[in-house]
Amino acid sequence: MHKVGIVGASGYTGAELIRVLARHPRVSLEVITSRQYAGKPLGDCYPGLAHLDLVFEGNEDESVFSRADLFFTALPHKAAMDAAAGILAKGKKVIDLSADFRLSDPAVYEAHYGPHAHRELLKEAVYGLCEVNGKLVRQARLVANPGCYPTSVLLPLIPLLKAGLIDSGGIIIDAKSGVSGAGRGATETTHFCEADESVKAYKVASHRHTPEIEEQLGIAANREVRVVFTPHLMPMKRGMLATIYCTPTGAAGRKAVEEAWRDFYSASPFIGIAGGDVLPDTAHVAGTNRCIMAVREEKRCNRLIIISVIDNLAKGASTQAVQNMNLMMGWEETLGLPMEPVFP
């Protein structure tokens, strides 16, 4: 069993990591840390995990970084960069779930998040979108686990841009997320009575996932890409659906798009292509590491409408992180990862 640890394990992505790592056949979860819960048993933070008999350690003492071979850093951005650097300095591997290593250009990072204390690592970090960058991930010691919105958008669009089937201009992304994306912090926005029976947009034309999406689409298109990105909050815990409007180049329609996806993802067990009448539903991927995508044509307006679904905490965060671990360790990509949704 290989030893792994989670730095910053008291949030929702931490809980989801623990759920999957606890059953993973090749790892042993040796260390969990939390500033808030240091010294307390895991059950104080997550009563449903009390039987695991784990105890939080503090975030400050870097000696814990010696106790495992690979760490997941699930800290807020800015805090994550230092932890990652400290872990790498001990010769260990890091999968960072924050935004700290997702943007390759320090100037872009700093425009959105403020000063970066480890600019040298930005170049080294591999963007861990497993189905696209799998080969790089296998060689990496620092993986930047993608954001949830970017994951839902990039997986359907990258193959189409690479195949030249869609225009890189004029892409509009209307995305819908469950409330868990806002984290475990108690705020007015996350109050049950404010979020239940409520749908709203937020951070319109200003969400920090926009540059992340644009960088990766730009790499795929081999040119600068600008997108309109509108996130919405839905009255549900988990789940993310992206509705993407784009313009086909030439006469590319549903058939061509589905073929491009099938080609690109022929060796990717976590990608589902909804080829029949049923459209993707966030419930189809709840609790799994899967992404399901579909396309429809609006010929009258010369647009393609692409829909993709993921579980924002799983494929959009923690299970994709475990998928990255599987790749980094040279294991089978699917090891220990849930494929079948918890439904209903």
The set of catalytic residues is: 148
Query: Residue 4 CB, nearest distance to its own copies (Å)?
Result: 16
> Which one of 73-81, 120-128, 155-163, 194-202 is the stretch in contact with its own copies (CB under 8 A)?
194-202
109-115, Cβ contacts within 8 angstroms, sequence gap of 24 or more: 111/211, 112/208, 112/211, 113/77, 113/78, 113/208, 114/78
- What residues pair up with 298 in beta bridges, in sequence order? 303
Q: Measure Cα distances from 66 to 29, 32, 334 in Å.
A: 13, 13, 27
Query: Residue 285 CB, nearest distance to its own copies (Å)?
Result: 6
Instruction: For residue 89, state whether it binds its own copies (rule: CB under 8 A).
Output: no
Instruction: For residue 7, state whether it binds its own copies (rule: CB under 8 A).
Output: no
Query: Residue 237 CB, nearest distance to its own copies (Å)?
Result: 5
3-class DSSP state of 307: strand
Instruction: For residue 284, state whether it binds its own copies (rule: CB under 8 A).
Output: yes
Query: Residue 126 CB, nearest distance to its own copies (Å)?
Result: 27
Residues 170-189 that bind its own copies (CB under 8 A): 170, 172, 174, 176, 178-180, 184, 186-188
**With respect to its own copies, which residue has the nearer C-beta, 122 or 313?**
313
Instruction: For residue 305, state whether it binds its own copies (rule: CB under 8 A).
Output: yes
Spatial contact of 274 and 280, defined as CB atoms under 8 Å apart: yes
Instruction: For residue 297, state whether it binds its own copies (rule: CB under 8 A).
Output: yes
**With respect to its own copies, which residue has the nearer C-beta, 88 or 317?**
317
Spatial contact of 189 and 195, defined as CB atoms under 8 Å apart: yes
Cα separation of 337 and 327, whole Å? 12
Instruction: For residue 341, state whether it binds its own copies (rule: CB under 8 A).
Output: yes
Total residues contacting its own copies (rule CB under 8 A)?
88
Residues 306-335 that bind its own copies (CB under 8 A): 307, 309, 313
Residues 121-160 that bind its own copies (CB under 8 A): none
Query: Residue 92 CB, nearest distance to its own copies (Å)?
Result: 25
Instruction: For residue 298, state whether it binds its own copies (rule: CB under 8 A).
Output: yes
First CA to last CA distance, the chain: 34
Residues 17-76 that bind its own copies (CB under 8 A): 18-19, 22-23, 43, 46-52
Query: Residue 272 CB, nearest distance to its own copies (Å)?
Result: 6
Q: Which of 338, 176, 333 is nearest to 265 (CA)?
A: 333
75-83, Cβ contacts within 8 angstroms, sequence gap of 24 or more: 75/7, 75/8, 76/8, 77/113, 78/113, 78/114, 79/8, 80/8, 81/116, 81/117, 81/118, 81/121, 82/117, 82/118, 83/7, 83/8, 83/59
Helix or strand (DSSP H, E) at 308: strand 303-310
Q: Give just the sign of the alpha carbon dihedral 142, 5, 325, 151.
A: negative
**With respect to its own copies, which residue has the nearer C-beta, 89 or 201?**
201
Instruction: For residue 193, state whether it binds its own copies (rule: CB under 8 A).
Output: yes
Rg of the chain over CA atoms, in angstroms?
19
Q: Judged by CB under 8 A, which of 78, 281, 329, 331 binds its own copies?
A: 281
Instruction: For residue 274, state whether it binds its own copies (rule: CB under 8 A).
Output: yes
Cα separation of 181 and 177, whole Å? 7
Residues 204-263 that bind its own copies (CB under 8 A): 204-205, 226-228, 230, 232, 234-239, 241, 243, 245
